[in-house]
Structure 1
Amino acid sequence: MPPRRQHPREAPALVAFGRQMRRLREAKGVKQETIAHLTKMSGAQVSRIENGKRRASRTFVQLIDDHLEAGGSLLSLWEDLNKDGRPVPIWFDWPEVEADAAMLVTWQHSVIPGLVQTPAYALAILHNNQAAADARIARQAILTKAPEDDEGSVPTYVILLNEHALVNPVGTAETMREQLEHLIEMSMLPNVTVQVVLGSGEHDGNTGAFVIATMDDRSEVAYIETAVRPITTDDPADLSVLAKTLVALRSQALTVQMTRELIRKVVQEKWT
């Protein structure tokens, strides 16, 4: 994926909401652990919401408002911060969303997804920008972290990959061979699924790559790649279009085992 745009670490809307939530919670003598249990989140995740570092879904806010007997005041604040009907904030720090996600589903039509790239492949994709490549590789830790290493569990990661990405040269033949062998290895992880989509050229996935992150509270955020800049959105209309695209892509996808066999065949015939 291209380098992300820089955003402020805190959004005023999130800070305002988080502070009010903390005030109401403390006024009732309710602990963060109680909120975490109620919303099926970790205490650390609740803390991030109160510190203005994580967005809250409407479902989350409704539960908290009811539990704290806030009379709708917390929900009203949340709605006031929704200037166009969308959950605050209007931007998302994608690496943080990615790290918090319970499930990530990605479609890539021309290259191997960043979370399963090798260092050499990432460096070639990023035009030998070592700092950017190192940052990308560091993000991959979310796929193999132990539960105790972070407030969240290891996400389920589903990769739908156009067959063209297997033969699209990036770097040297050795780089490609190493990358595809690594992709097979990653597909063996219990939380990672890789499926090649046969490229008929007749599906909406040709318009661009994207990732959909599903959070613990079942809310979704999408990251969409464009030629100008990446877009992050949780607009229901956008998510609906992407959901339909995934249905079309999955209808043309090989099984997991057939995918591994195809990748091995490409390694032998194209990159060895």
Structure 2
Amino acid sequence: MAVSMSRMTLLMGIFMGFVMVGLVTSAKFDDLFQPSWAFDHFIYEGEQLKLKLDNSSGSGFQSKSKYLFGKVNIQIKLVEGDSAGTVTAFYMSSEGPNHNEFDFEFLGNTTGEPYLIQTNVYVNGVGNREQRMNLWFDPTKDFHNYSIFWNPRQVIFLVDDTVVRQHSNLEHKGIPFPKDQPMGVYSSIWNADDWATQGGRIKTDWSHAPFIASYKGFQIDACESPASSVSAADLTKKCTSSAENKYWWDEPALSELNLHQSHELLWVKANHMVYDYCSDNSRFPVTPEECQHHRH
């Protein structure tokens, strides 16, 4: 069914959080985040933050709060030149052995070869849902938006507001969905040359160090979890729309991809995906059940 331009504009406006009131927070790093390790590997240049990796250490930061549902966005410019062996990550995660996690991992490469983006979804401590794709631009030449949107019905990964992955709630099929654990927001850069580039065949060349990932445009529009411990049921109730509170991420239009977003995802899969766990028969002789339902 065709979607009119006015309807499309409304849907995109809601998705960007501009139509309904959400919990919009500052775009300044220090308001939202704090260094988590290797403080001496942080470089502050005005509104930009740079994380450094050398042969002594990588570095990383984390959000000051945890969140349940909403949207997180960071603008990142990845390591230029020969970045083989390095991984820059942007992800959300809860805590504990049965944690939930949504991953963007940017896998460095030799000079002239494209970066690969690996996404993954952990539910109740179980991951192994990797997808890998290349990009339609050079992510080392400028900043680009990387976003995670999450509500009780779906998780969406976006690159410059283009949908690159969807993970739907299939609890009605008996498949667990990550909807009841608050998650922190994290980013880091580290050496992973045992697997990151061509399966670990290409190692990190430390003569090119330090490797620098640059950040700006920190945005979190999400439901903040109280600092004190609350039950999962109470937190879910707090972060879900009610007669008293209407949250933009709970709008019916965001319960699934709209037609335009579905076409975007089909385009990404056809033109840029290079690995999908759902198609890996050697790892999964029996196709994972959610894969039967996530195909478009």
State the TM-score bracket (shorter-chain normalisation): under 0.3
Question: Normalising by structure 1, what TM-score?
Answer: 0.27
Higher helix share: 1
Higher strand share: 2
Name which one, 1 or 2, has greater alpha-carbon Rg: 1
